[in-house]
Structure 1
C-alpha cells in the first residue's frame, strides 16, 4: 500500500533509526489511506498538541529486541516456572505448607495466571518477529512476505505454524493453550490436601468424591473427619496434579528453546509499527514487483509473487538510489545484518579511525 506513495521519501536515512528518531522525523506530517494506498496530507497543518501527542516519555533500551525475548526477562521467567513446579507438590503434600493454601486458596491460581500472562507476552513477540527472522536467514520464499501470525486466532495459530513447518512458533502457540489449562488445574488445588489422596484411595463402594474442608460428613475407619478434598475426586485430583506439572515442564522446555534460538537481535528495531516497517523497504527494489497489487487479497498476492520467482532476505542491499541500505529486499543482498555493524562504513573509509588498527 506504499509502493507508489510519495511518503517513502520521508524515510530517507531511517534504515537503522530508532523508533524515537522515526517519530521525531514524522510527527510533523499527516497521512491518510486513499485508494488502498498511504498518501501525505501536509496541506492540513498539525497543531503543537497533535505533534507532541505521542512523544516518548522515557528512554528505550538500546537493545532493539522485544524485552520478553531478552535474557533479562527470560531467565527470571524460566526460574519462576521451575520454582512453581517445586512449590506445587510442597504445598499439596506437606501438612505444614498446606496451611498456606488453606489460608490463601487463590495463591497457586494467582501464580498460574502470572505465568499465563507472561507467556502471552512471549507469544505475541514471537508471532511478530517470526517473518523477519526467516528473512534474516536469507533466500526466503515469497510466501514469507505475506506471512502473518499476529492476526491468527488463539488455538488456530499453532496448527497453522506446524503446517508451515515453523515448529518453534507452533510450540509457543501450543504453550498458550496449555497455560489456560494450567490455570484451571491450579484453581482446583486451593481447597484440597494432597496427603488425603495418597493415604486414603477411594474404596469400591465410594464414589471417590471428597468432602469439603472441615467437614465431618464422611468419617474414615479411624473416626477422623474425612478427606480434605473440597469438590475434587481421587481421579480428578491426580489428573489435575499430573497435568499441571507436565504443562509447567513443557513450558520450561519451550521457553528455553525460544531463548536459545531467538534471544539475539537480528533487526535494527522492532517491526511493531507501520513506520518501522516502511523504514525497512523505502529503498527496496522489490517494490517494483508490488505495482498494481494494492487491492489484491493475500492469496492473489502470494500467487503473483511466487510467479515472479524471486527470493527475499533481510540485510544490507544496494537501493534504488544506488546507496547502501538496511532492510528487506530481493536477493542477492550485499550482506547479512549483524546488530551493531554498519555496512555503509565499508564504502566510507574516511569515517574510520585508523589509529585503532
Structure 2
C-alpha cells in the first residue's frame, strides 16, 4: 500500500540493521525463539502448513516491536503486516522475495516486492535499536521453511520474558528526547543565555546617563543627556560606547555581540551522526546507528566565549557594587525623569521644545550636569539633575546656555520619525529568510541551492540560525521603539490618566514586557513584544531545517512548519508596525534620550505635582501621583514668541 505512514523507526530499524536483531517468536511444537538478521530469514521463519493463510502481526510494546508468527501446518503464502498499517504480500519460500530498504535524505522508502506489485511507505521518526538476545532455541532456514526447537528450560525462560516467548531483550532507543537533545538543546541554552545578556545590555544602556551624572564632576550634556538611555542600537554593539569612551558599557556591548554568535555555533556543536565508522555499516547515507556527536573545535570556541562572558559578568557585578547610579526609581518612565528635572537652573538651560535633537546637542555643548541635592524655593531639600558650575560666582553669573532656534523643527523633521529604517530592514530580512526556508522545502532537485543546504557540512545551520539571531535583535529594536512611543501616542489621541502614560514603566524582560503592555492596554505593543519572543524561538527551530544525517522526516517537518509559521507571523506584524506609524504624533524628535524626554516636560505644570517625591521610590511616588487624579495630554501649544511646540502636560479645566 503505497504512501502509508509509519509512526517511528522503532518498527523499522530493528528489522533492518545488521547486526542489530529482531526477535521472531515462532510458536511451533512448543515455544522457542530465533534471531534474524534479514527479512529473508523473517519470511523463511514462517512454517508452511495448512491451506489457511497465516498472518504475521506486529505488536508494539514500549519501544519494541515483536513479530508474532503463529504455527501453521502445510504450505502456502502469508501476508506481512508491514510495521503499522502497510500490508504487502510476501510469498514464502521464494528467496527472491526480500524486503529492500533504501535510505534517502530525510525519509526512508521501504520497497516491498510482492505478488501484487511494489509498495513504499514513509518513515517519520528515528529510533536506533541495540539488542542483546541470549539464544534460548535454535533455528534453521532452508529454502522456504525453518524449524525451531526448544527445551523445558527455554519454556521456563519464556514465561518470564516481557516481550514474548523465549527472549530477553536489552534495548537502547534513539527516542524523541534524544532527538531534541541532539538537535535543539544546545541552541536553546545559547538563546536563553543571549536573552539574559540582552536584558543586561538594555538595562545598562538605560542607566548609563545617570551613572555619568552621578560622577563627582558630573557629565557633559551631549554625552549624558543625548546618548544611551533608550536610544539603543543592539546591532552596533560596543561602537557607540567606545566612541564616547564609556568602557564598562563597551564591555557590555561586546559581550552582548559575543552571545549573539552562540546560538549559531550551538547549532553546529552537537549533532546526530550516522556515519561514524561503525563495525558493520549498512548501505546508504546512514550506514551506522545514530549517536550524538560533538564538534570539539566549536566546543572549544564556545568555552572561550563563555569564559569571556563570565569574566565580563563578574566585572559588571563588581562595578555595580562599588558605584551607585543615584536613581531613586526605574528611569524608563516619564515620571522618574520629571521628578529629577525640577531644579530651576536646569529648566533655564533647557532648549525650547520645538528644537530637534541635533540643535539641542549643539546648544548645550560644553554644559555639565550632575545628580545632586539642592534647595528649592521654599528652602526644602530637593534632589535631581543640576548644572555643575565651577564655583559660586559661575552660578551667580549663570545665563541660559542656548539662544533661541527659530524654525528648526521643520515639517520634514517633524515627519521624519514616522519612517524607520529599521522597519524596512526588518521586513526585508524576514521576507528573505521566509523565502529561503520555503524554497528549500519545495526544492527537490539536485541544484546548487538544495545540494548546499543538504550537504550536512558546517555552514547551512550556522547561516540560518545566525540570520534568525539578527532578526531577533531587529525585533527587539522595533519593540523598544514601539514601547517608548506608546504613551505619547495615547496622550496625543486621548486625554488619559497617569497610570498608563506618565507612570508607564516599560520592561526589558521578554515575558514581563508582554504582560505589562497587556495590563496597560497597549495591545499593539503586546503583539510586538510577543513576536519578539517568538523570534527567539525561531533561533531554535530553524536550526533543524537544513538536512543532517540522522534527521527524521517528522523532525524536518516540525522545524520547517514552525519556522514558516513564525516568519509568516512576523511578515504580517511587520506590515502592521509600518501602518501603525501613521498614528504616531508628529514629534520633532524621538523620546529615547533623557534630554528629549526632558524637552517635552520642561514647560509642563505637572512638574509641581512631583514636589517632595524626589527621594521616594517608584512605588510610593506613583501612588501619590495617582491620588492626585489628574488627566494628561500631549499636544502642540503656542509658546511665548508665537511658536507651537509639543508638550506633555496636565489637562486644564
Tell me which stretches of 4 or more aligned residues in structure 1 moved more than 6 Å: 318-323
Q: Which has the larger radius of gyration?
A: 2
Q: Is the 8 A contact 1:65 1:269 kept in 2?
A: no
Match of 1:11 among 313, 326, 350: 350
SS state at 2:569 partner: helix
In the other structure, the counterpart of 2:464 is 108
Structure 1 CA distance for aligned equivalents of residues 536 and 413 of structure 2: 31
Structure 2 CA distance for aligned equivalents of residues 76 and 312 of structure 1: 35
Following superposition, the deviation at residue 79 of structure 1 comes to: 4.0
Q: Is the 8 A contact 2:441 2:560 kept in 1?
A: no
C-alpha change, 1:273 and 1:122, in structure 2 (3 Å) is: same
Match of 2:515 among 152, 159, 163: 159
In the other structure, the counterpart of 1:98 is 450
Q: Indicate whether 1:37 and 2:375 are aligned.
A: no
SS state at 1:269 partner: coil
SS state at 2:647 partner: strand
* Structure 1 residues 189-244: Cα deviation after superposition (integer angstroms, max 9, x where no partner): 23x1xxxxxxxxxxxxxxxxxxxxxxxxxxxxxxxxxxxx4343333222211111
Indicate the RMSD between aligned Cα atoms, in angstroms.
2.9
In the other structure, the counterpart of 1:176 is 532
TM-score under structure 2 length normalisation: 0.40
TM-score under structure 1 length normalisation: 0.70
Following superposition, the deviation at residue 30 of structure 1 comes to: 1.2
Q: Indicate whether 1:22 and 2:360 are aligned.
A: yes
Structure 1 CA distance for aligned equivalents of residues 616 and 369 of structure 2: 22
Q: Is the 8 A contact 1:128 1:271 kept in 2?
A: yes
Which protein has greater RCO, CA pairs closer than 8 Å, 6+ apart?
A: 1
Following superposition, the deviation at residue 153 of structure 1 comes to: 1.4
C-alpha change, 1:65 and 1:238, in structure 2 (3 Å) is: farther
Match of 1:286 among 592, 595, 606: 606
Structure 1 CA distance for aligned equivalents of residues 511 and 550 of structure 2: 29
Following superposition, the deviation at residue 11 of structure 1 comes to: 1.3
Following superposition, the deviation at residue 325 of structure 1 comes to: 4.5
Q: Higher strand share goes to which structure?
A: 2
Following superposition, the deviation at residue 322 of structure 1 comes to: 11
Structure 1 stretches lacking a partner, 5+ long: 46-60, 193-228, 334-357
In the other structure, the counterpart of 1:312 is 632
In the other structure, the counterpart of 1:140 is 496
Structure 2 stretches lacking a partner, 5+ long: 1-339, 374-382, 395-410
Query: What pairs with 1:1-357 in structure 2 (closer than 5 Å)?
Result: 1-12=340-351, 14-35=352-373, 36-43=383-390, 63=413, 70=419, 72-94=421-443, 95=445, 96=447, 97-101=449-453, 102=455, 104-105=459-460, 106-143=462-499, 144-149=501-506, 151-190=507-546, 192=547, 229-263=548-582, 264=584, 266-317=586-637, 325-332=645-652
Q: Higher helix share goes to which structure?
A: 1
Structure 1 CA distance for aligned equivalents of residues 473 and 573 of structure 2: 16
Following superposition, the deviation at residue 281 of structure 1 comes to: 1.5
Structure 1 CA distance for aligned equivalents of residues 420 and 385 of structure 2: 38
